[in-house]
Structure 1
Amino acid sequence: MLKTLVSNLSNLAKDKFAWLSLFSGCALTFAYSPFGVWPVVFASLLIAVWLTDKPDPKLAAKYGFLFGFGWFALGISWVHVSIAEFGGLPLAISVLLMALLCAYLALYPTLAFIFASYFTHTPWQRVLALIAGFAITEWLRAHLLTGFPWLRFGYTLTDSPLNTLAPWVGEFGLTLLIILVVTSLYYLLKQRAIYLAIVSFLGISALYSVPLIQGTLKYSGDEVTTLLVQGNIKQSLRWEPEQFWPTMSKYRDMTRPNWQGVDLVVWPEAAIPEFEDIAYPFLENLDKAATFNGTALITGIPDYQFDTRTAYNTLITLGKKEKEDSEGQYHYLHKNRYQKHQLLPIGEFVPFEDLLRPIAPLFNLAMSSFTRGEAVQPNLLANGLHVLPAICYEIAFSELVRGNFTAESDILFTVSNDAWFGDSHGPHQHMQIARMRALELQRPLVRVTNNGITGVYDPLSKVQHVIPQFEANILKTDVKLINGVSWYAEHGNRPIWFIVAFIVLILTTAKVKPMVLKRFERNFL
């Protein structure tokens, strides 16, 4: 058995197409932030479509898996930073864990390419099969084992001319649009299938014409002044009890000289590291200070409820709830709060914790026993503003964020602590994902983090202002509010799924009908 394995690996190493598939997947990383060379996604996927154009599902699976492995191995290599620095595991074990994670994620594009290998007889069938296959497998990737919808193709278009389609089809629609364009181009080059290119061109043109016919969202004319505070607390110190007061004091002292003229102050995820019940005197004074200065403050804080022994990763609001309020709103467990729903495996909860926690520090991190909040929660109310919240990687779950959107939502607000990932491309990808949510919902983005990337983004003007990473600083800026509700905010991915269902119906008919005819001919003719 060992000889067979060695022989297979040797043959794989000699396969130049296998290396090409792996490298094309790795190249996808450069289509995402911070590199932002978005045309790379079309070139990389074009190579993958060519290499997997095999009627043999095994060959399609081999090249599809290598493409997917390269895609994630380099794309989420930043995950290894946290495993290596805070996981307490030997290098060989941490690398093996990363390889297993990337291999798992690579299974999803592999399944899409295997599915398409059964429809290689005519170009249009394979084009539709790849669209439907990726739609289904990307949905599965976003939901199975709590989901990990990171690095979907559509995010590469966040800063491209095609980003104007985000309010209509969302990132999910952009992902499928990329597949349509790439596969149509492939068959145009291979078989001169001009009809596919024409269909792709007409489809994109129709999407672009919709805003011209129906009009676009506009600024309401109102502006709010926001103060974003980035404390830049070292990750190794964040959960040390002797550092709780210095951390809280730092955020308070950075805010104190800047209260005046500000409508909304925002602190990052768990900016207050002390349990909310214990930090009550500090919060009460902060509530009074915010009210006295005519503003509101939103901060992250862990909330451990001693009576029920449940802990929540929480956002709470302090200061004025409505503009006309003259008193603060805060008291412990007041309802104007948000409890994180989409928890991070290992980081915020540990599956099979009785088995895993004793193995290594990686499975026993501080604050890794949180409880889920509800999937749908009211917007936060802060100084008359309706604030749509998301904590950390929740922002990658488009349907979760959209599920909490209302027509009254003024600002998309997300907090995070990306200090886990050092000076890697992970925080840049995280900010790019957040900006895509702003484009989909057409609401200004306010994002505040511990050490970057902290900033604001206007989805109409596409202008972004950020604080440099790895420094304690503030950003005081005016945010323009937007009127109206985007098509995506109103309908989500439902129209896309209707199209995918129709595609599956067409493919099923195309596959089953010949089989029925052959059986009829064999039995009766």
Structure 2
Amino acid sequence: MSFAPGPFPTWLLPFVQIFSLAFLAFYVFRAATVRKAALYGFIFGLANFALGFYWLYISMHEYGGMAAWLAGAAVLLLAAVEAVFIVLAATVARWISARHLQVNCSFGWQLLIAAVWASCWTLAEWLRGTLFTGFPWLNVGYAHVEGVLASWAPLLGVYGLVWFASFASAAIALLACAKDTTNDARAAVGVGCAIVVGLLGIALGHIDWSKAQGDPIIVRLVQGNVPQSEKFDPELMQQGLATYMRLAALPPKEADASPDLIVLPETVVPLFQDRVAPQVWQQWLDIARERDARILMGAPLFDRRDGQERYTNSAISFDATTPLAALIAGIPDMRYDKQHLVPFGEFVPTGFRWFVESMHIPLGDFDRGRVRQALFPIKGQMISPNICYEDVFGEEIIQSVRDSEVWGPGATLLVNMSNLGWFGDSWALRQHLQISRMRSLETARPMIRATNTGMTAAIDAKGNIRGVLSPMTKGVLDVEVQGTTGLTPYVRWGNAPVLAWTFLVLVLGLLMRRREPAAQMAPANL
């Protein structure tokens, strides 16, 4: 419940996350055996992910047509698989720290135990976000988009926030486990260190990691709220397209605030481009001419390269001067092909064809694009599109922010184009907005989001929301956006510093485990 506002307000989410994880750490530290610690980790993880991912049931059952029992079982199975990583963190932390949890240990040992817990958790989160293409949704760092730890994101990224938050949780748990006055004082040192990190975070918030690039541009973000049940229905498809055309063509609210760029969501054109009637593409060109703006939209593309057929989930950009034949052929002025595909939704993992075929989800097997591709130069800005949950992977987003010898300068503005209509009015929409805010914090780049049902929003280079449309509504958000340049430490170095520190702490923890505790105490309440 700490990964998106509702029912808790945003300012409370960091505290909910830290104290929830402290609850688990307390029981793991007091577990009589490593096996019991593993059990606690599994129960915690299963509950966390089953609740946090409940919206997957909506996509599989309500829109995918999967039987209710199979959709529910799939959510529980995914939660169980994800919980294995929590089991790993809890088990390793308990095993390394076991001999020193039951003694009146020094300040240093107390800090090292908390650091071992933080390192185990960080490594588990990194593995969860990397193995089998990765699924880092509900990474504990996303609870800290606001709060005292948020300003550490430009330095260490989301996994740095994971480490600090996990350390604070372990410090609180060790304080709760303390059994006498001396141990209370020593355990409190860890809590004090966590407070110092938070205070440093407040100071870091005053640092500007980027500077303005060029002139601001006015962007129109379009949210059509086309129900997922209608989006791919052949009889209603044209109605959905007409909705987006009408919204895109709306006159500006002020005469001098005409949009330079109109951004529409992922797969706003729900057919491969060569199956769309030429007059439909001509209508889009007419809108670009009427508004004197460049259009950026999501569309599935089909083309042939080197004699091979390719199907991609893409973002394309064009203006009134783009030839109609180029749009029909799938070779517009600017094109980005999604490179991090969603398992089961956009590609079929080996052995799971039967599972995918039990759902009726169109456009479910795409080819991957390159990790780094040509950016979109628009009105003096270098725009980097990403599609759907690609922005969950910060280590991939930073590739487009760095300069490239092949592809040229890095991005000054990030654009996310999503269709979360599969998940109804659920936590998924607000969770995804928090994730996009983290990417802005890490890169010091504004992020604009155009979605079908929500959350369509404009985020500045410090992760603040400058404008947002209510979910499940039709509308446009016209907003002035200032692109930025300059590289944060995280963009330069990625996850390497955090991972190196994590492994160093675990090595120290292993050495600690081999040392005899200084003073034995009879274990209590084990």
- The TM-score, its normalising length taken from structure 2, stands at 0.84
Q: In terms of mean alpha carbon deviation, does 112-121 or 373-382 score higher?
A: 373-382
Distance 1:247 1:225, change over 3 A: same
**Aligned match of 2:523:** none
- Greater relative contact order (Cα 8 A, min sep 6): structure 1 or 2? 2
How far apart, in 2, do the equivalents of 1:481 and 1:470 lie? 28
SS in 2 for 1:61: helix
Structure 1 residues 504-513 or 153-162, which shifts more?
504-513
Partner of 1:60: 37
CA shift in 2, pair 1:367/1:216, >3 Å: closer
CA distance in 2, matches of 1:355, 1:217: 46
2:162 to 156, 175, 182: 175
Which residue pairs with 1:377 in the alignment? Answer: 373
Whether 1:264 aligns to 2:261 is: yes
Q: Does 1:132 align with 2:119?
A: yes
CA contact (8 A) 1:295 1:383 kept: no
Question: What pairs with 1:453-472 in structure 2 (closer than 5 Å)?
Answer: 453-460=455-462, 462-472=464-474
Task: Return closer, same or farther for 1:142/1:85 CA change in 2, 3 Å cut-off.
Answer: same
Q: Distance in 1 between matches of 2:316 and 2:376?
A: 8
The 1:110–1:357 alpha-carbon spacing in structure 2 relative to 1, beyond 3 Å, is closer
Moved more, 458-467 or 261-270: 458-467
Q: Secondary structure, in 3 states, of the residue corresponding to 1:226? A: strand
- Alignment match, 1:424: 426
Give the match for residue 240 of structure 2: 247
Over 3 Å counting, the alpha-carbon distance change for 1:329 and 1:52 in structure 2 is farther
Alignment of 1:439-458 (within 5 A): 439-458=441-460
Q: 2:19: which partner in 1?
A: 43
Q: CA deviation at 1:346?
A: 1.4
Residue identity matched to 1:458: D
Letter in 2 for 1:368: G
Distance in 2 between residues matched to 1:164 and 1:124, nearest whole Å: 23
- Look up the match of 1:226: 219
In structure 2, the partner of 1:144 is: 131
Change (3 A) 1:70 1:354: closer
> Partner of 2:374: helix, strand, or coil?
coil
Contact 1:273 1:302 (C-alpha < 8 Å) held by counterparts: yes
Runs of at least 5 residues in structure 2 that lack an aligned partner in the other structure: 101-109, 404-409, 518-526
User: Which aligned pairs between 1:112-511 and structure 2 lie closer than 5 A?
Assistant: 112-118=89-95, 119-122=97-100, 123-189=110-176, 190=178, 191-192=183-184, 193-206=187-200, 208-209=202-203, 216-220=209-213, 222-258=215-251, 261-279=258-276, 281=278, 282-283=280-281, 286-287=284-285, 289-290=287-288, 293-305=291-303, 308-319=308-319, 327-328=321-322, 331=326, 332-334=330-332, 336-352=334-350, 355-356=353-354, 360=358, 362=359, 364-406=360-402, 408-460=410-462, 462-511=464-513
Q: Decide whether aligned partners of structure 1 residues 55 and 262 sit closer, same or farther in structure 2, where only a CA change above 3 A counts.
A: same
Q: Distance in 2 between matches of 1:497 and 1:226?
A: 38
Contact preservation (8 Å) 2:268, 2:298? yes
C-alpha distance in structure 2 between counterparts of 1:171 and 1:379, whole Å: 24
Task: Indicate the residue corresponding to 1:32 in structure 2.
Answer: 4
Q: Deviations over 1:445-485 (max 9, x none)?
A: 11011111111112438243111222221111112333422
1: CA distance between counterparts of 2:92 and 2:333?
48
> How far does residue 55 in structure 1 lie from its aligned partner after superposition?
5.3
- How high is the sequence identity, in percent, across the aligned residues? 27
Letter in 2 for 1:295: A
Post-superposition Cα deviations, 1:419-454, rounded to whole Å, max 9, x if no partner, equal 111121111101111111111111111101111111
Secondary structure of the 1:498 match is: helix
Q: Is 1:75 the counterpart of 2:75 in the alignment?
A: no
Aligned to 2:81: 104
**Secondary structure of 1:314's aligned partner:** strand
Q: CA deviation at 1:87?
A: 3.3
Asked whether the 8 Å contact 2:449–2:458 carries over to 1, the reply is: yes
Any conservation in 2 of the 1:226–1:478 contact (CA below 8 Å)?
Answer: yes
The one-letter code matched in structure 1 to 2:217 is V
Please give the secondary structure, in 2, of the residue aligned with 1:161.
coil
1:244-271 deviation digits (Å, cap 9, x = unpaired): 4333333222222337721111010001
| CA contact 1:55–1:120 (8 Å) conserved in 2 | no
> Which amino acid letter does the alignment assign opposite residue 257 of structure 1?
L
Task: Name the aligned partner's letter for residue 139 of structure 2.
Answer: R
- State how far apart, in whole Å, the 1-side matches of 2:188 and 2:271 are: 63
8 A Cα contact 1:319 1:328, kept in partner: yes
Distance 1:435 1:305, change over 3 A: same
**Contact 1:112-1:134 at 8 Å conserved across structures:** yes
Deviation (angstroms), 1:285: 5.2
Distance 1:177 1:512, change over 3 A: same
| 2: CA distance, partners of 1:374 / 1:342 | 9
Distance 1:447 1:77 in 2: 23
SS state at 1:134 partner? helix
The DSSP-based 3-state class of the residue aligned with 1:453 is coil
What are the Cα deviations for residues 287-322 of structure 1, in whole angstroms up to 9, with x where unaligned? 4642564321100000122663321000001118xx
Name the Cα RMSD after superposition.
Answer: 2.6
SS of the residue corresponding to residue 48 of structure 2 reads: helix
TM-score of the two chains, using structure 1 as the length reference: 0.84
Conservation of the 8 A alpha-carbon contact between 2:443 and 2:487? yes
Aligned mates of 2:197, 2:158 — CA distance in 1:
16
The 3 A distance-change label for structure 1 pair 215 and 476 is closer
Structure 1 Cα separation of the partners of residues 363 and 208 of structure 2:
47
**1:165 counterpart letter in structure 2:** W
Name the SS for the 2:502 alignment partner.
Answer: helix
**Whole-angstrom distance in 1 between the partners of 2:189 and 2:323:** 62
Q: Are the aligned partners of 1:341 and 1:373 in contact in 2 as well (CA < 8 Å)?
A: yes
**One-letter amino acid of the structure 2 residue matched with residue 116 of structure 1:** A
* Number of aligned residues: 478
For 1:182 and 1:354, the matched residues in 2 are separated by 38
Post-superposition offset of 1:219: 4.2
- Residue 381 of structure 2 aligns with an amino acid whose one-letter code is L
